[in-house]
Structure 1
Amino acid sequence: MKTIQKLGLAAALMALPSIGLAQEEEVVAALVPTDSVFILNTLLLIIGGFLVFFMAAGFGMLEAGLVRSKNVAMQCTKNIGLFSLASIFYYLIGYNLMYPLGTWAVDGWLSGVWGPGVMEAVGITADAADDYGYASTSSDFFFQVMFCAATASIVSGTLAERIKLWPFMIFTIILTSLIYPISASWKWGGGFLDAAGFLDFAGSTVVHSVGGWAALAGAIILGPRLGKYKDGKVTAFPGSNLTLATLGTFILWLGWFGFNGASQLAMGSVGDVADVGRIMVNTNTAAAGGAIGAMILTQIMYGKTDLTMVLNGALAGLVSITAEPLTPSIGAATIIGAIGGIIVVLVVPLLDKLKIDDVVGAIPVHLVCGIWGTIAVVFTNADATFGAQIYGIVVVGIFTFVVSGVVWLILKGVMGIRVSEEDEIAGLDMAELGMEAYPEFSKG
């Protein structure tokens, strides 16, 4: 009897793996489509988020290389400060204004409500079951906050070498908690621009033009650097470290693969993954086109190739393709980027004629090429119309420029935004920080 029982037990044990496997296959068949999509989408946002985060280093190095040595530490301080403030205030206010998290404050215009609900909305206190949508809510917040910080980084370079630290930080708080989230909600939050058919895949207007308009308002109110425009001539102020600026450009180029690629927001299907790959290719070739376009045009116009223009040309190509990196062919993406590079070379001297001092060229790159890239969507995406694209550009531009200008004027009247002539001549490193990035070589 014991022998029979043992044989029966052995047979049962032998059968268990197959029974368990069959049950497991049923469970996998039921769960994997949801679980795998959730995991892959979340992973895309996380990877994209830390790539866009690295763009903060790119902005920092680009600006540090393009300012004079006596202002390098100040630019580094501004960049780490603005990123930290953006991370905090986008969490406290901005994210909840930007997306319709349950209710609308003003339907189609302003999403979300202030209050403790924002903490659950970003997955800080939510249960796992509540955090189970197409992707992790926390990963979405992580990805979106990086875009917000990038918007503030655009402003930093334009106003370099003459703006006080703390007024700039206060403006950063207002930009990242109010100006950017409100205007972005009109498109990405399901607002009236989205309903009007305005298309902006990853933010040529929503991110880059917003930063450019804010920078333009600040540059006009702040005024040019001392000696920049004198006796009808433009004085060039060479950057302290073009090697560092080149490194910053390559870092930004790398980060843009996350900026555009992860803006697909999904890679849980064959189609989505294929689209992400196509976006990456178009993003890369647009940057290349922008660099070559600027390289050739500076050679033609000045008889020599200008490295700073080439660097900004690559960035211009990246901004130009950001509004629609999926639908163009590789050739079309290259042309869109090349036109962006050409635009930068033409707009930089135009700003000088208008006596608008943009230290790093952020206005031509992010504002003007942001406008170009948004218009260029019409040439490759059949769903885009000139009317809707121009409408979005104008609405966002007027709102951002006017509100930013008001904020800058208030800051100027209340606490002053510009350092003294003595401090500007000595350099903001010592005047504002009491330290220097290059203590042995900071007299230039």
Structure 2
Amino acid sequence: MFKKAGWFLFLVLILSSPSLAWAEDSFLTQDRANILWTLLAAILVMFMQAGFAMVEVGFTRAKNAGNILMKNLIDFAFGSILFFLLGFGLMFGTDVGGIVGTSLFGLKGVNFASGGAWILTFWFFQCVFCATASTIISGGVAERMKFPAYVIVSIVVSALIYPLFGHWAWGSLLLGDEGSGWLEGLGFIDFAGSTVVHSIGGWLALAGALLLGPRTGKYTPDGTSKAIPGHNIPLAGLGVFILWFGWFGFNPGSTTSVDGTIGYIAVNTNLAAAAGVIGAMLAAWLRFGKPDVSFSLNGALAGLVGITAGCYEVSPVGSILIGLMAGILCVISVEFLDKKLKIDDPVGAVSVHGVCGAFGTLAVGFFAAPGFGDATGVFYGGSFKLVVTQFIGVASGFLWAFGCGLILFGLLKKSMGIRVSKEEEIKGLDIEEHGMEAYPSFQIFTTE
């Protein structure tokens, strides 16, 4: 009892100490709080890398688990270095023509005397976003892409493709008007990255999947699609819950400040994810006669991706509707790509991130609600100008990412090859690419 009272008095004395009396300087208090909040959010987003890895490992075969983990690892490793050296400056440096940033390469000139505490914090937050965009590609090209070729893709995306589009939409976030990109000038809204992060990654995955071709055994000679089940659905479920958890850093953290909007952004994020599960479950249930687990898991991610652009702009009811529609759209898109277009996307990356990211960005033009964010959507009496602006942003994101992806994957295909041999694919990329097995104590069947 006395020990607890002693600790309480100690805390009172510390908090009332003049050296820590931040209340005497409200700006300093807010500044430190913003840094702490943004760092916490960045740590949550960094943990999402584990979620992506688990989802992808769970939805694919055991013989490729180590290869998938390796790709996710190098996404964050190379992404951190390249975003530091080049990407951050292209994305948030002093603007030229609304197209590209031209300063802050390698954080040159940043120190504590120049406001470096905040710039370094902001860099870390944006670095983990960059790694997210790169990691999305991994799912679309899983189980058949050469590891060296993937490393080059990851480097180019982190250093050039993601940062350049990011500058167009988010360039002013650090330097204000001095860094503003051309999409910002049009009034494009993508609060936390439905298009900037997720669709860019999704469209790059589409280009990769298209040029790689389907996995061996995915389609019969007459074009009928065959399911290739993942080896560990519980692991995929764990990954989805990790991502859901991390998204509370992704969306609310994009405020980069401690203010009253954090709470309702978190509410919108959670409601959209929940509605995404329900939408995908019901759609799959109607389509296949059973509530499919894989589709339901991807439905949660579809809802999260869909609300990311408008989490600051829409009402809680709007977030439910957006999440519900994103979940349904995810099922339709996966089926369309697989059965109609014959594009093999092992984890649904194109549908979840590309398609639902585009949908969520467009939805802002309709669902933006007065009294929440700064815009008014069509459903609340706003004009179609915002819808047109959102469409321009979505279309430019597709043309940029898919176009760059076709060029990048195409050049690699001609120069060094991007696909492993049929024999290597059948044996598994763990053994052929890395000389090891993720599950050495278990028998893994590799006939397909």
Q: So what's the TM-score if we normalise by structure 2?
A: 0.87
Aligned to 1:245: 236
2:32 matches 1:39: yes
| Contact persistence 2:22–2:29 (CA under 8 A) | no
* Aligned residue type for 2:188: F
2:174 maps to none
**Alpha-carbon distance in 1 for matches of 2:165, 2:25:** 38
Structure 1 residue 227: deviation in Å? 1.3
1:261 corresponds in structure 2 to: 252
Residue type of the alignment partner of 1:131: G
Match for residue 370 of structure 1? 357
Name the CA distance, whole Å, in 2 between partners of 1:330 and 1:107: 37
Match of 1:232 in 2: 223
The equivalent of 1:9 in structure 2 is none
Question: Hey, what does 2:9 align to over in structure 1?
Answer: none
Number of aligned residue pairs? 404
Aligned amino acid, residue 128 of structure 2: M
Q: Deviations over 1:171-193 (max 9, x none)?
A: 10000100000000001002000
Aligned match for 1:129, one of 97, 102, 113? 113
Q: CA separation in 2, counterparts of 1:65 and 1:185?
A: 34
Contact 1:74 1:432 in 2 (8 A): yes
Aligned partner of 2:15 in structure 1 is none
Following the alignment from structure 1 to structure 2, what is the Cα–Cα distance between the partners of residues 360 and 405?
A: 20
Map 1:338-353 → 2, pairs under 5 A = 338-352=324-338, 353=340
The answer for the alignment partner of 1:108 in structure 2 is 98
Aligned equivalent of 2:300, options 299, 314, 319: 314
Q: Distance in 2 between matches of 1:400 and 1:429?
A: 29
Does the alignment pair 1:152 with 2:125?
Answer: no
Residue 362 (structure 1) shift: 0.5
Q: Does 1:304 align with 2:290?
A: yes
The answer to whether residue 278 in structure 2 is matched with residue 292 in structure 1 is: yes
* 5+ long unaligned stretches in structure 2: 1-17, 172-179, 369-374, 378-385
Question: Which has the higher mean CA deviation after the structures are superposed, 340-349 or 135-144?
Answer: 135-144
Partners of 2:342 and 2:367 in 1: how far apart?
Answer: 36
Corresponding position of 1:214: 204
Q: Tell me, what secondary structure is at the counterpart of 2:443?
A: coil
What is the deviation of 1:119? 2.7
Q: For each residue in 1:212-262, what CA deviation from the matched residue of structure 2 results, as whole angstroms up to 9, or x when unmatched?
A: 110011111111101111122111000010010000000000111100011
Equivalent position of 1:442 in the other structure: 444
CA contact 1:436–1:442 (8 Å) conserved in 2: no
Instruction: Report how far residue 290 of structure 1 moved.
Output: 0.1
Question: How far apart are 1:357 and its partner, in Å?
Answer: 0.5
- Aligned counterparts of 1:28 and 1:320: Cα–Cα separation in 2: 39
Residue of structure 2 equivalent to 1:280? 266
The 8 Å contact of residues 22 and 28 in structure 2, kept in 1 or not, is answered as: no
Structure 2 residue aligned with 1:50, among 43, 51, 54?
A: 43
- Of 375-384 and 37-46, more deviation after overlay is shown by 375-384
Gap change, CA 1:41 and 1:28, over 3 Å in 2 = closer
1:438–1:28 Cα change, 3 Å: closer
CA distance in 2, matches of 1:281, 1:288: 11
**Whole-angstrom CA distance in 1 between matches of 2:444 and 2:321:** 41
Cα deviation, 1:150-173, whole Å, max 9, x if unaligned, reads 001100011000001010010100
- Match for 2:364: what amino acid? V
Deviation at 1:380, TM superposition (A): 2.8
SS of aligned partner of 1:129: helix
Distance 1:443 1:49 in 2: 39
Q: Give, as a single letter, the amino acid of the residue that structure 1 aligns with 2:113.
A: A
Does the Cα contact within 8 Å between 2:237 and 2:297 map onto a contact in 1?
yes
- Between structure 1 and structure 2, the one with the greater Rg is 1
| Equivalent residues of 1:54, 1:255 under 8 A apart | yes
Residue in structure 2 matching 1:164, options 143, 146, 154:
146
SS in 1 for 2:115: coil
Which aligned runs of 4 or more in structure 1 are off by greater than 4 angstroms?
A: none
Alpha-carbon distance between aligned partners in 1 of 2:420 and 2:242, rounded to the nearest angstrom:
31
Deviating more after overlay: 231-240 vs 47-56: 231-240
Q: CA deviation at 1:129?
A: 2.3
Report % sequence identity: 46
Q: How far is the alpha carbon of 1:147 from its aligned partner? A: 0.3
Shift in Å, 1:28 = 5.8
Task: Give the corresponding residue for 2:107.
Answer: 119
2-structure distance, mates of 1:250, 1:277: 20
Structure 2 residue aligned with 1:393? 394
Residue pair 2:214, 2:344 contacting (<8 A) in 1 also? yes
- Provide the C-alpha distance between the structure 2 equivalents of 1:28 and 1:241, rounded to a whole number of angstroms: 50
Cα distance in 2 for residues equivalent to 1:263 and 1:411: 35
CA distance in 2, matches of 1:343, 1:354: 16
CA–CA distance in structure 2, aligned partners of residues 215 and 325 of structure 1 = 25
Q: Distance in 1 between matches of 2:438 and 2:22?
A: 57
Give, as a single letter, the amino acid of the residue that structure 1 aligns with 2:225: V
Residue 10 of structure 1: aligned partner: none
| Unaligned stretches of 5+ residues in structure 1 | 1-23
Match of 2:346 in 1: 359
Determine the C-alpha separation between the residues in 2 that align with 1:327 and 1:433. Answer: 46
Q: What's the CA shift string for 1:103-125, capped at 9, x where partnerless?
A: 33x321101247xx53335x4xx
CA distance, structure 2, for counterparts of residue 201 and residue 184 of structure 1? 12
- Deviation, 1:383, is 4.7
Alignment match, 1:404: 405
Conserved 8 A contact 1:74-1:429? yes
Cα RMSD, aligned residues only: 1.7
